[in-house]
Structure 1
């Protein structure tokens, strides 16, 4: 399973970027796999889902910053997507050795560093550019 991780510090727009990836993939014809969606964190709209197009399953993990309960670490969520038969997973993570090692356990893996916004006026542009970078690695 290929893992593509958006890596960045807290409050840099990782969740917004992953949500943009999700929307862009839907617009490209990917369809949600029934029964796979669940919300991981309501505050940030972090979600866990699987999208599929032409037999390619792409897992989405919108939470990679924190563990609120058992089974919700990046390591656990990646294992769940592996068990779900995902070919590719796009997730978020902080620059943290433990989280990064959980991602490195899968081959191939790619880290995309979150681009920092210059201010409120360009958050959307930066997040959209990062979303397109993630999608290009699928």
Structure 2
């Protein structure tokens, strides 16, 4: 965001600087699995680990565990353990998590609405790249 002045001089942050604390937050949010967890929980219904893992096709237990811990650390996710045998654990978004989840849901909706255009652009790009690498007929 171009503010016309250096935010650091006024106690602000600059996400383009490597030590900016907001950059670390962006790194968490920009993860594919983080985005999918946020969308999966965006409706407000708590989910158990196994539900999330089934919902997020392809995620490993290790990656999902790390993602959930990261989201909890950032204050975007609440983890509730129920005193049952075996313990039941549910995950839900916090108010902050619902805010960012709504933003991610918009990106998801945009992606789904534009996938045909994106696929066409990919095909055109790949065709141009293949043509530029084709050396043409071999001359002797």
* TM > 0.5 fold call: no
CA radius of gyration, larger in: 2
Structure with the higher strand share, 1 or 2: 1
Structure with the higher helix share, 1 or 2: 2
- Report the TM-score when normalising by structure 1: 0.29
- Report the TM-score when normalising by structure 2: 0.28
Q: Select the structure with the greater relative contact order (CA < 8 A; seq sep ≥ 6).
A: 1
